[in-house]
Chain A
Amino acid sequence: MLSLSVTGLITDLIKAFMETFLMCGISIFISIVLGLPLGLFIYITREGLFWQNRILHLIGGLLVNIVRSTPFVILLVLLIPVTHMLTGTTIGPLAASVPLSVAAVAFYARLVEGSLVEVDKGVLEAATAMGATNGRIIREVLLVEALPGLLRGLTVTVVSLVGYTAMAGIVGGGGVGDLAIRFGYYRYETNVMIITVVLLIVLVQVIQSLGELIAGETDKR
């Protein structure tokens, strides 16, 4: 009886972890593909930089702020039509990945902009003085100098996503956080809840350390 419930729990946990990985994986991928360019866009349209454009800069920033200031649960609901359009369903981890990705893109875009702003203007100016094209300066100076910051931002994004996935349970996204809520909150199985929470802490810790390690490796300052 006992062994049966333990095996059951393990199967549940494995399934939940798989769901978490799937949701986080998709959203992280999307936030790199879309959030990085968006953050870069907001940065380069800033005053006194490559493609200064006040209007576009404001629009980009506003877009990001709207998403970021909307509570995730509301975003989840608001995006249901979009989710349906993109995935053909509104439940399950794949469907949950849509609002997660949207939140992650906005979140990461801000962090990207932040780490780009940190890049020494003097270094960019030196590259300009050398006669490098804007494209080359962005690829070989800006992104290279910002890389450690970009990686740290990515780590923070992943960690936040793990938290958000718990709420994705509302649309049947599943995942580890959802498991903790279901067992602990609805079924009063405190032991299971504690185990899952501990596992979550370990997961977050691993992600954070790994991120730090990689970022530190690329940082030559």
Chain B
Amino acid sequence: MIRFENISVKYTLKSKQEVEAVRGVTLEIGEGEIFGIVGTSGAGKSTLLRTINLLQRPTDGRILIGGNDITHLRGESLRQLRLTTGMIFQHFNLIHNKTVFDNIAFAMRSAGKSKSEIERRVPEVLELVGLLDKAKSYPSNLSGGQKQRVGIARSIANDPQILLCDEPTSALDMETTQSILDLLKEINNRLKITTVIISHEMDVIKKICDKVAVMSKGEVVETGDVFRIFAVPEHPFTKQLVNSTLDLELPRKLNENRTKRLFKLVYRGERAEEPVISETVRKFPVDMNILHGKIEYIAEQPIGVLILNLEGAKESVDSAVSYLKTRVAEVEELHA
């Protein structure tokens, strides 16, 4: 659907210095996907995203949308591209002096929609984002989450094929973030809009994306299914980003107690819901104690860690461990 071919973006600063914000990015975003771009501040995420609707022109490379090269579009054809590409922003960017209704009406008038069409469609999109009663309010009277909902309503009013989201939840609290992400997911599901979402938080990516590209210093260092990225990150930078998901801090006391045999079990994928633990205890004469654990579901697949203490004869424990190794992704003995 969206294809970046060797995209580079250079900014020329006032001091004539050049900054290469995006370097040789090649990337493919599939139709209907929710595609995440993650990276630290200044990695070039916004710059890359903004090339999709040419708010930022690439210095090098090509961008194809649905097979058409859009890199050099200008004037009316550029406007047409933008009419079919919705965008939402971290700071919402609503017109302060227009009501919610008029904000959305503005987007539709820009697309040449008739008055009757606007009268019909605006309540429809407001209903979809759950703000039908706020049509006559001004943005300043809305909460952050509500403002973003208006932003979303505005961005989909013209039935776009693509929705670009630049840090859509970074100005919101955790609860509101969740509800906005749910809404974006629902819209993606219902309207099949290809959604590209930028975030510096792995959490956001984890919650709604199908695929993700990891950016660092202007380059895409790794890309893949969200689950794969979390389960087996390859690039050191990615590892650092996803670390918190698989790493568990053991309390100091346990860590120092060398008399007990501790094992770390790592789950990656469908095996987490199988009764691995109880089966092991039934099959081998060992006692098992779960000391710590965390399991998360990413793209509906479990991923997580358990820290166990196994007690019993050495041979029994060893064979229990060998058995466990056949059932979960990884078993590692801690300070063995």
Contact = CB atoms under 8 A, between A and B. Distances in A.
Contacts of B80: 131
Contact of A133 (B89, B110, B158): B110
B97 A129 contact: no
Contact of B110 (A122, A132, A144): A132
Contacts of B154: 130
B51 interface: no
A121 to B, nearest CB: 9
Interface string B104-146: 0011011100000000000000000000000000111000000
B110 A127 contact: yes
Nearest to B84: A131
Contacts of B110: 127, 130-133, 136
A221 B140 contact: yes
Contacts of B111: 130-131
B83 A123 contact: no
B223 interface: no
A138 interface: no
Contact of A220 (B81, B83, B96): B96
A136 to B, nearest CB: 6
**Most chain-B CB neighbours within 10 Å: which of A130, A133, A141, A145?**
A130
Interface residues of A, number: 23
Contact of B94 (A123, A136, A140, A147): A123
A125 interface: yes
B89 A122 contact: yes
A12 interface: no
Contacts of A221: 96-97, 140
A122 B93 contact: yes
B148 interface: no
Contacts of B82: 128-131
Given A130-B83, A220-B140, A221-B140, A123 B96 contact: yes
A123 B140 contact: no
A147 B164 CA distance: 30
A160 B94 CA distance: 34
Nearest to B110: A132
A129 B55 contact: yes
Contacts of A127: 95, 106, 110
Given A123-B96, A221-B97, A133 B55 contact: no
A127 B138 CA distance: 17
A218 B138 CA distance: 12
Contacts of B195: none
B98 interface: yes
Interface of A is mostly: helix
A125 B111 CA distance: 16
A141 B95 contact: yes
A126 interface: yes
A219 interface: yes
Nearest to B80: A131
Contacts of B89: 122, 126
**Most chain-A CB neighbours within 10 Å: which of B98, B139, B164?**
B98
Interface string A192-221: 000000000000000000000000001111
A219 B95 CA distance: 12
A136 B140 contact: no
Contact of A130 (B107, B139, B140): B107
A146 B138 CA distance: 16
Contacts of A128: 55, 82
Contacts of A145: 95-97
Contacts of A148: 97
A120 B93 contact: yes
A136 B109 contact: yes
A140 B55 CA distance: 20
B213 interface: no
A78 to B, nearest CB: 38
Given A120-B96, A126-B94, A131-B111, 16 more contacts: A123-B93, A125-B93, A129-B87, A130-B83, A130-B87, A130-B154, A130-B158, A131-B83, A132-B107, A136-B110, A145-B95, A220-B97, A220-B140, A221-B96, A221-B97, A221-B140
17 contacts: A120-B93, A120-B96, A122-B93, A123-B93, A123-B95, A125-B93, A126-B89, A126-B93, A126-B94, A127-B110, A129-B53, A131-B82, A140-B95, A140-B106, A140-B109, A220-B97, A220-B138
Interface of B: 53, 55, 79-83, 85, 87, 89, 91, 93-98, 106-107, 109-111, 138-140, 154, 158, 164
Interface of A: 120, 122-123, 125-133, 136, 140-141, 144-145, 147-148, 218-221
